[in-house]
Amino acid sequence: MEYRNLGGLEVSAIGLGCLPMVGYYGGRYDKKAMIALIRRAYDQGVTLFDTAEVYGPYISEEWVGEAVAPFRN
């Protein structure tokens, strides 16, 4: 994974957009499946996750938080 400097933070060059996870473009996806997807992305080096309070509202932020909580250092 390549990384870039974004406002003083080093983030992955590839990010994961979380808007579709909460059903913005259709039906909402399964929470367990989305948490697994987020963890898989993190395992592959993704550190940039696009969330916003209006996604759900707040659902994408909660799911990303739950998914990466075990990886905190």
Mean pLDDT by groups of 10 residues along the chain of 73 residues: 96 93 80 95 96 86 94 76
Distance separating alpha carbons of residues 57 and 47, to the nearest angstrom: 22
Which 8-state DSSP code applies to residue 30? Answer: P
pTM for this entry: 0.87
Cβ neighbors of 23 (< 8 A, separation 6 or more) are: 29
Residue 23, both tokens: 């059903």
Amino acid code (one letter) for 5: N
Name the catalytic one among 3, 25, 55, 58.
Answer: 55
Which 8-state DSSP code applies to residue 26? Answer: S
Active site residue 24: no
Which pLDDT belongs to residue 72? 77
